[in-house]
Amino acid sequence: MSYVGPDFDPPEPRRSRRRPLTFTVAALVPTALVGWLVYTAVADTGGGPADAAPATASSASPSATHPSAAPSATASPTAHGESSKASSSPTSRAAASGPLKGKVVVIDPGHNPGNFRHPSEINRKVNIGTNSKECDTTGTATDSGYPEAEFTLALARRLRPLLQQQGITVKFTQDGDRPWGPCVTERARIGNEAHADAAISLHADGAPAGDRGFHVILPAAVHAGGADTRPIAARSRDLGERVAGNFLRVTGSAPSNYLGNGTGLVVRGDLGGLNLSTVPKVFIECGNMRDSTDASRLTSEDWQQKAARGISEGIVSFLRGK
């Protein structure tokens, strides 16, 4: 837009030149119009679609393609706009570059939104080394009905791009792309076969109301049957401490007031996903879904993004060893 002010008033045209100018302009209009029509016809045959790129969902806004309370399906949109096909194989995605290129992290979204439809499959017993337990469970839910399995998928999908930005290859144990499971034995095996540098299982607790806060579960030094966590116990503790510290710092959530004596760390030897792991692995219970204070956080997309950032920064710190 041009500026016209007191010092820039346009000059008045001379009356003697008005007629020739009008004639010249009038003569040029048909020629210009013909030229414009020819240009438009050519442009319409070649340039249009190439100049208008289709709109895509930004990977910086996972909630655009994965709203936290959206029901899961056997084929659902992923954080990168692709379509997940029903499959029993884990989802794996590698970042192109970054300071941690070559590192592998396995994310295990706890449970599965479809587990409740397959009671016979998830209730069958599997051997976890120390004893036998159910293949999987349905998980818990908030009092308003928001399932833990939906929360863990939403959180995992937010966590994935944050790790990929560092160049890390990210593998999921499931991405809403299978009707149930996998069993806890398979969840551990996926991390082992990937030779993961770190693995984390995402959960939320179902304790009584009034119990609130997060805690990170570390593997005990188990040696029984097919389970031997002794080689990974120390490294898993290092991973867990870094995840807990960064989760606390970024989310502002307090450590559990009912487990861990205020440390936010709990050691257990009864979880198949930890017992059977041969790579550094921890569980995180991000809060208590049955407590109204925690539930308000767990169902918030803004808080979920903070939780993902806190977990990612803990994992990155562990992989850097700093």
Q: Tell the residue number behind the tokens 């097919």, with chain if given.
A: 226
Element (H, E) at 107: strand 104-109
Q: Which residues lie across from 106 on neighbouring strands?
A: 171, 199
Structure tokens of 130? 């120390």
One DSSP character per residue, 151-197 reads HHHHHHHHHHHHHHTTT-EEEES-SS-SSS---HHHHHHHHHHTT-S
Asked if 313 is an active-site residue, the reply is no
Structure tokens of 50? 């190439």
Give the Å distances, CA to CA, from 296 to 187, 229, 301.
29, 36, 10
The CA distance from 91 to 175, in Å, is 7
The catalytic position among 150, 186, 285, 313 is 285
Catalogue the active-site residues: 285
